[in-house]
Every structure is written in C-alpha cells, then in structure tokens.
A and B are shown apart, each in its own frame.
Chain A
Amino acid sequence: MTNPVSPPHPGHQRYFFQKFGITERLLERCLGEALSAGGDYADLYFESVTSTALAVDEQIVKSASQGTSAGCGIRVLSGERTGYAYTDNLSPERLLRAARTAALIASGPARQPVQGFTEAPIADLYPVPLGGFDLDLAARLELLLRADRAARAFSPAVVHVQASYFEELRRILIAASDGAFASDTQPLCRLNAFVIAKEGAVTTKGTAGAGGRAGLEQFTGSKSPEHLAHEAARGAILQLGAVPAPAGEMPVVLGPGWPGILLHEAVGHGLEADFNRRKTSAFTGLIGQSVASSKVTVVDNGTMAGRRGSLNVDDEGSPTQETVLIENGILRGYLTDKLSARLMGSANTGSGRRESYQCIPMPRMTNTYMLAGEDDPEDILRSVKYGLYAVNFGGGSVDITTGKFVFSASEAYLIEDGKITAPVRDATLIGNGPEALKYVSMVGHDLKLDEGVGTCGKDGQSVPVGVGMPTVKLDKMTVGGTGR
C-alpha cells in the first residue's frame, strides 16, 4: 500500500494540448464563459479513452474490437445547483458553447476564474504500461488461449469455454476556476474465464476474473490464465453436485477477498456524502455512533498501487486518500466530493468520480475493505455448529434509504459441526446495513483484496472498484435458499 509521489506528468496534459489543440488560454476562456452568469465554481473535464476487447470462444479467436472516444464535460456549481453540458467535439467554438449552456444554471453577475493554473504533484500508482493503439495483440491473445486450454483440460465435464480480455487507457485533464489543474493517464485491464460444465442432465456455469491498473505482467500466480481457468472450471463442477441452499437466519462465515462486497453494499454506498447531505441514507445522522461490532474497521483506500479501484486523482482532480469509514465499530466519516464537502463543511476525501465526460461526478468508493483481525480462519469455521460458508459472490445491491442490502453467493457451503460439508446452490444473502455488522463476532487475520474485477453502478454510472475482507463470522444473517 505504498503511495509514491512523483513530479507532475507533463505528458498527460501534453496529450490533450497536442492532439486536440487545447491551450491554457482556451481553458481560461471556457472557464470564464462558464462563470459568465455567476456561480461559485466551474470545471472542465477532458477525457480521451481507447479500449480493446478480445474474446476466444470455442477455441476460436472470434471477436476483436477497439473503440475510441473523446469529449469534454463542463460543470458550473452555484450553491446546491449543478449545471452540466458536454461535447464530443473539442473545437474552441463547441467548448465555449457547452460552457455557455452549463452557465445557465446560475443567474448573477459574471465571475472571473483564477488566472493561471497550478498542478499539484500527484501519486504514481500505475506507471502506464498499456498501449493505446499499438498493442501487442498477440501477447493478449496468448493469455486467452492459455485460459481456454487450461479450462478444457481441467475436466471432461467442461463442455464450453469462453475467455475474454478487456483493456482501456483513459486520459483525463481537469481545469477548474479555482486554479486547480490535474491530469492523469489511467490504464485498466481485465481477464475473464467462463465455463459451462455438464454431467447427465445437470448444467452449471463458473466464472473467474482478474485485473487491475497494471500491465500484462500482472497475470501470474493467482491471476494467471491457468489459475483463472481452473477457478472457473472448479466453480462450475462444484455446482454440479450442489444441494439446495438453506433458507432463514443462521450464522454466516464469509471467506476472504471478494466477499468484501458485503462492505460495499452494507455500508459503503450508505456513506456516500450525497445521500447524507440529502438525509436520505439509512446512515444519516449516525456519525460517532456504533454501527458495527468493535472488531470492525472499514476503510476506503484509493491509493493502493496497481489496484482496479485506485486513482492518482479523482475525476475532479483531487488526490485520492485512505478514508476511515468505520473504526472499531464506530461510524467515522463519509465519502465526499467537492460539492458535498463544501455544502457539509467537511474535508474532501477525493471521492468524486464519473463514468465518462458525459456524466456529472458524485461521491463513489475506490477500494473498500475491512482491516484484518486476530482470529484464525480455521477457528472461525470450527466455531459454527450449523451455518453457511460463502466464498464467492456474483454481485449485490442496496436500497440506500432503508439500508437493506443483498449480495448473491455463487460459491458457498454448509458448515456442520464446525466442518465445511456440501456445496450449495446459488442463494442471495440479505441484511440491514446499519445492523448487519453488529453481528460480526470473529475477524480473521487473513485480509485479502479481490482479484480486480469489480464494477459499481450508481445512478446509471459504472466505475471500477475494489473490495476486500478477511474471513469474517456474522452470528446472524438471512440466507435466501429454498431450504429443500
């Protein structure tokens, strides 16, 4: 979890200056136009993305696609109001027109933006290894072919294999009326394996994936194509013999890593400042109060090198940080962006993110995880007479206002007399955010972060995120099986 700081990257901004003819003078003119009807603040968000997707299906390199898009979103803040306009044409006249459209949110005398920009030093969490257009496609295809071979070789029960790879290079440049200036180049990639297994009349699926803000060298060890293929195949084959999941309240042990999605749904979203500013979150007004057992400390950390949820700067140009959300069970803070920090009179946690230049930024998570405790994972399992051990999940969701959340187990087992027994079929777990973590009675020493596959959706905007957790025992949670 290092946070190396290096000098600003002139290369990030040079890209926009050279490729699109953007100049500091033009940025100043656009900001001036954006504040021409008043307003407290304006910013410009330039984005250029190139992406590549490859897939091997039935042992054939069936599909390859590349896309490129560029645009600029212009925002004006006036009190609690946001005016927003974007353009995919970066000519001066279109930029100025978008600025004038965003300006309509305010009504007052024109304000002058600060003249001249200051670019603060930012971290270098992901030395950019991924190419834009000139990719070594053969090296990427080899990863897919290796995954395909490994999955098919795993078992004769594997009847279908699909391996896919996605990567993007996102360049951003942010200039604000307060003189803030930031630029970044953000790589992101992901390798996935999908397997169908069949035995008699029973058909099942398994998936596994890994990725992050790093180059192809990351796909070794637990992220190697072979390991991912084996995990996908193992998951599918396990399901062939799964019994119905139980139904009702029972002790639940969550394995380390990706089950940290519990934290993302149960507490993370409810602590995003926009919901709390509006007092529409189930966590509204709970700062300083107990929302979890004293064994629970949860942080959101955007500064972890190479991780999928990490960013040198957020999409408002603010540096990311490690933010303590829950400390020894006590709710400590919210995730804020510039608007919510200003309106709530709190510090900006660098959590302003957006899917693209077409979207208004809002407070979002980065990498959200629970710190390790002291329990031995074996002891945790041994302590359960009858319950569920869930180690992998498909996804989750939360109702921010009521705090009710779900997350759906895709690999889980019964625990009987302290031992892991039968694998169970898919089942959704459901709980209440401000209550669920109060039932955490044991926390393992085995903190693990996920393999880098998470995508979070909010108000129609998707952003990459990470989660993590040690092995955790909840004394009580509702398991939504059929109980047959």
Chain B
Amino acid sequence: MPQAAVQPSETAVDLESLTAGVVALAMKAGASDAESVAREGDEFSVNVRMGEVETIKESGSRGLGLRVFLGNRSASTSTSDLTPDGIRQLVEGAMALAKVTEEDPFAGLPETAEFGSLAGDLHLYYEDVYSLSGAERIEWARRAEAAALAVDPRLTNSDGGSFDVSTGRKVLANSRGFLGGYRASFAGVSAAPVAMDEHGQRQRAGWSSSARSFALLESPEAVGQEAARRTLLRLGARRVPTQRVPIVFAREAANSLLGSIFEAASGNAIWRGASFLAGCLGKQIAAPSLRIVDDSTMLLPTGAGGFGTSPFDGEGLPSRRTTVVENGVLETYLLNTYSARKLGMKSTHNASRGLAGTPGIGCGNLYLEPGSLTPEEIIAAIPAGLYVTGLMGPGVNLVTGDYSRGAVGLWIENGQLTHAVEQVTVSGNLAEMLLNVTAIGNDLVFRGAVASPTLRIDGMTIAGS
C-alpha cells in the first residue's frame, strides 16, 4: 500500500497580517469601514468500496474576502489569489462595486463596544486528526465497510466506507479594531452498506461518526455495525394507507425540524415577513414542554468544543448562549447586526460569514432540551403510528409553515415497531406541529451542530397507498 503523504502545510502565511493589511488598504482607498475574512484549510479523504480503495483526495486551499462600506453603501469581493496583485484587485473591485450600490440606512459594521472573542481554549482544534499514516487511514475506511458487510449475508453490496480529516483556520479583521482567529479540526468515519432481500429489493442506509479529535471518533467497527443495523431495518419496506396517526420523529429526523424552526426564527426571514414565526415574539409557538437553546460556547461532554462552537460570530461579536424557546414561548429571534437593526433589536451574535457576500444568520449548537421518556416508552404509548427515521426532499415552506416531505421508517402497531415503511409522505403545518409535540425523548446526543431528542407529533397526515 502506498503511503499517502501528509502534505506539508502551505508556507506559513500570517492570515492576521493579511486581513489587517487588506482592511488598511481598503480604508486608504476611501472606505468608511472595512472587514476582511481569510480562510485556509486542508483536507484528506479516502473511500474504500468492496475492500478496494476507490478514491483518495488530498489538498489544501486558501481564500480571502473583503466587505467595504462607503457610508451606508456596501459591497464585497473574494479571491483565491493572495498575491499583492490579487489583493489590489480585491480592494479596487470592492470599492468600485460599492459605488453602484445604494444607501441602506441599516447597513454597517457592529458598534465598537460590541466586539469580542471568548477567552480560553474552546477545544476546537486537535492535532491528532492527522496522526494516522496514509495506510492507516485507508485501513479505517476499510474496517468500517468490512464491519458493516460482516453483519448479515443480505448485505451484499456497498457504497463504501470512508475516512476524512480536515483542518482549517479562519481570521476576521475589521476597521473598528476587531482582529480574531481560530483553528478547527475534524475527523470522520462512515459506512454505507447495501442490502438485498429475497425479492431483489435493495436498501441502503449510511452511518458515520464525526469528532474534532481523532481520539474521540467511534471505532470503524461500531460505525459499520450501526450502518448495517440501519440498512437491515429498511428491508421489506412497504407503503401504508393514507391516514392520520401519531408520528414519532427519530433523532436524525427531528434534527431537521429544529433546523426549520431556527430558519423561521432568523431575523432575515422575520423582517421580510417571510416566516410563519414573524410577529410571534413572546407568543406560545410550541407545546409548553419545549425548550430550544442555541449555544455557540458549548463544550461537549467529551471536553471537545461542539460542532457549532466558535469564539466569535461572523461579524466579530463574542459567541453566546441564547434560549430561543422557553416553555413553548418564542423568547427571541436569531439576529445578526443587519437584521437586528431592521427590527430595532440587538444582535444575538448569530452572524455567519463565508468568504463572499454579506453576513448571513447561522446557528451554533442548536438543541432541544431532552424530556424524560425513552424512545421505547414514546413508541409503546402508540396503538398505530409511524416512526420516521429518514426524510426526503425540500417540502418545507417557512412562509406558510406548510410541511410535506417524503419519509421512511418503521410502522408502529400496539406500541411495537413492526415492518419497514417507504414511499409515503408526512404532512402538516409547522405552526400546528410545534403545538402538537406530545412527547419528548431523553435521548439527546450531539452528533452534529443541531441535535434533537426523539419527538412525537400528533395530527399529521401520512399519504401513501
């Protein structure tokens, strides 16, 4: 096996000096305010399929973004060319563009007093993600797939096993004195076996483990076995008749509901009136048992920083913990500086920032507080219903709240999971669905930045045969 060499990192570029320099150049060119962001990162991934290496990818890249203000006008540029010539074009381009935009009284950087960065180590970066040799990384991918395929003879094919690592560094600087940066690391292992039953019906389900530190990854065997278990559970899937029954959203499916609530409560949707939650501040939007928190400061029980943890947001405001919904009441919208000004409020420090464009709004670690019931207890209480393990398609209209998505899962009969279900939709309206949450599981686990325990929602419609 060839050794996939760890690529030496790019010639050490001081991103702090780079961004501060870009801001200074923009100010010199006549900007009234400027903000620059730089990112660099590297990635390695290997996919193994049916025991053989299928792809190995390894690389690094960098990028630079600039946002300038001419009073209340603004524009932005981005580039992958970090040479003096590239930077000159970045600045000149932004200044020229800003002149074609118009005054927007709400545009601008945050106030100087608002900036800040969390002190102390947030445990976002672990050097050990690159500790494996190339051959060992391939072996991890191979082990995940092999463990999956070994579980059952019906697992005859595979979309492969994979092992990925990446590290990145992000720096933000602006003309009001903010300069901050942080590194983050990531490692992941996954498997996606394919099962075929006696009728020739194929099923596939993937599973993965992600962590900021290699040492915190689940074993490839654990990941492979769980992928196999999930794939086998789908065998024999059939449709069920159209009906209205309680729906239990497994954690993985419930996460997306939480994501929809966040989006609907985002300031940019609210000030446009483009959300079913517009005007709902302080109102009962969900069952009284619901408490939803967005926490960008969180450390996981393992001691590592959460997947949504960072020292500061996309505009340089210090990360914080925000209770979004308390006792079912919408306590706050999620805001960046612009949307906050539009609504006459203060930023909740939820600005997100890519290289290009204006800051958006993003969550940190977004979660629903767990309840006291086990998933088994929730299911046991249902005479007939659907346990949803996967959702498909867009199907969520955040303006009207209309919700209609493809679903796969398991049928619940007399409190027991029976056969697999596919090719059905689950439909309702988010505004009603949130009020109709009738049970919350105790099984909250952070496998990503958004995490929900198992949820039971009543009053939804299944469309099937």
Contact = CB atoms under 8 A, between A and B. Distances in A.
Interface of A: 37, 53, 60-71, 80-89, 97-98, 101, 104-107, 133, 137-138, 141, 159-160, 162, 196, 198, 202-205, 239, 245, 247-249, 278-280, 282, 284, 358, 360, 394-402, 404-408, 410, 425-428, 430-432, 478-484
A159 B273 contact: yes
Interface stretch (B70-78, B165-173, B320-328): B70-78
Interface stretch (B28-36, B59-67, B118-126): B59-67
Contact of A69 (B54, B80, B272, B395): B80
Given A203-B276, A402-B237, A480-B424, 20 more contacts: A65-B97, A66-B76, A67-B355, A70-B81, A84-B57, A138-B100, A162-B272, A196-B272, A203-B274, A205-B274, A245-B404, A249-B465, A278-B157, A280-B159, A406-B406, A408-B393, A408-B395, A427-B425, A428-B405, A481-B404
B56 A105 contact: yes
Interface string B133-168: 010000000000000000000000111000000000
B315 to A, nearest CB: 15
A432 B423 contact: yes
A80 B273 contact: no
A483 B397 contact: no
A86 B93 CA distance: 27
Contacts of A68: 78-81, 86, 89
Contact of B61 (A81, A88, A408, A430): A88
A69 B86 CA distance: 10
A67 B67 CA distance: 12
Interface residues of B, number: 88
B357 A63 contact: yes
B351 to A, nearest CB: 15
A273 B201 CA distance: 19
B414 interface: no
Interface string B36-69: 0000000000000100111111111111000000
A397 B393 contact: yes
A63 B358 contact: yes
A342 B148 CA distance: 29
Contacts, number: 274
Contacts of A80: 49, 52, 54
Contacts of A107: 1-2
A112 to B, nearest CB: 20
A66 B2 contact: no
B242 A81 contact: no
Contact of B103 (A60, A70, A198, A202): A60
B400 A105 contact: no
Nearest to B10: A89
A481 B427 contact: yes
A361 to B, nearest CB: 11
8 contacts: A63-B75, A65-B357, A67-B78, A81-B55, A278-B157, A428-B404, A428-B425, A482-B428
A118 to B, nearest CB: 28
Contacts of B93: 66, 133
Contact of B461 (A282, A398, A483): A483
B461 A105 contact: no
